[in-house]
Amino acid sequence: MRKKGKKSLKERIKIIIPLLKEEYPDAEPRLKFSNPLECLISGILAAQCTDEKVNEVTYFLFAKYRTARDYANADLDELMKEIYSTGTFRKKAERIKECCDVIDKQYGGKVPNDMDSLVSLPGVGRKTANMVRADAFGFPGIIVDTHVIRLSERIGLSDKKMADKIEFDLREIVPENEWTIFSHLMAFHGSRTCVARKPKCEICCMNEFCDYF
């Protein structure tokens, strides 16, 4: 944490969240899915890939593969071709097949909803696990994607570099009932205003509370 102290950061969060809610009343999950399995697959594909590209790929993928067993039985070369445009396609295809095989055999084809079980699945880290728990199952979760990492540093909410450490910093200062919407608000702000290159600081709704500005 920064030297400002946890109390001042909590006060900053109380101001930031309402500002972001007013700015992005449409904030919601950026990945499109209709069930926990689709949410999990989207999360795996989203690594080092834009949400828009993932949605483009899963539009066809989800129509073909309906169950965990479908993915586990998929031809590896064919699956790699289908997800090629998301990058690191071999690794992702292998992880999807391994992950879904475990889900089918150990969990009866149902995606588990507890953190320990999720992060034990091949290819699933805390970011994806939090996303599945929050967006597919409705549990509070802080989803630390590339936008949350960048904004947390710029705004002054965490001085950590690793996603897992940033998550735990944010868990200390963001009210638990706001964890999920906070994650989506930060993602929207990061994609629309506080972009990686040339952030639009002059029109930012919270520039006066931002260390970067």
Gap between the Cα atoms of 203 and 205, Å rounded: 6
Q: pLDDT grade, residue 210 (50/70/90)?
A: confident
* pLDDT value for 4: 46
Domains of the chain: 6-28+141-209 (1.10.1670.10), 36-136 (1.10.340.30)
Mean pLDDT of 150-174: 95
pLDDT of residue 6 exceeding 60: no
Residue positions counted in the chain: 213
Task: Say which amino acid occupies 46.
Answer: A
Q: pLDDT grade, residue 130 (50/70/90)?
A: very high
Per the CB < 8 A criterion, the answer to whether 93 and 80 are in contact is: yes
Per DSSP, helices labelled H in the chain are: 6-23, 36-45, 51-64, 68-72, 76-82, 89-106, 115-119, 126-131, 146-155, 163-173, 179-192
* pLDDT value for 212: 78
* pLDDT value for 141: 97
What's the whole-model pTM score? 0.91
* pLDDT value for 7: 54
At which residue do the structure tokens 């999720």 appear? Answer: 118
Q: What is the pLDDT of residues 28-40, one digit of tens each?
A: 999 999 999 999 9
Please name the helix (run of DSSP H) or strand (run of DSSP E) that holds residue 33, with its range, or none: none
- Whole-number average pLDDT of the chain: 94
* pLDDT value for 207: 86
* pLDDT value for 90: 97
Q: Tell me phi and psi for residue 161, to 5 degrees.
A: -110, -30
Q: What is the pLDDT of residues 49-105, one digit of tens each?
A: 999 999 999 999 999 999 999 999 999 999 999 999 999 999 999 999 999 999 999
Listed residue (121, 122, 144, 120) closest to 131, CA to CA:
144
Q: Tell me phi and psi for residue 113, to 5 degrees.
A: -115, 5
Q: Give the rounded percent of residues in the chain with a pLDDT score beyond 90.
A: 89
Listed residue (111, 151, 150) closest to 131, CA to CA:
111
Active site positions, annotated? 127, 145
* pLDDT value for 204: 92
Gap between the Cα atoms of 129 and 77, Å rounded: 26
Q: Tell me phi and psi for residue 64, to 5 degrees.
A: -95, -45
Listed residue (163, 201, 192) closest to 23, CA to CA:
192
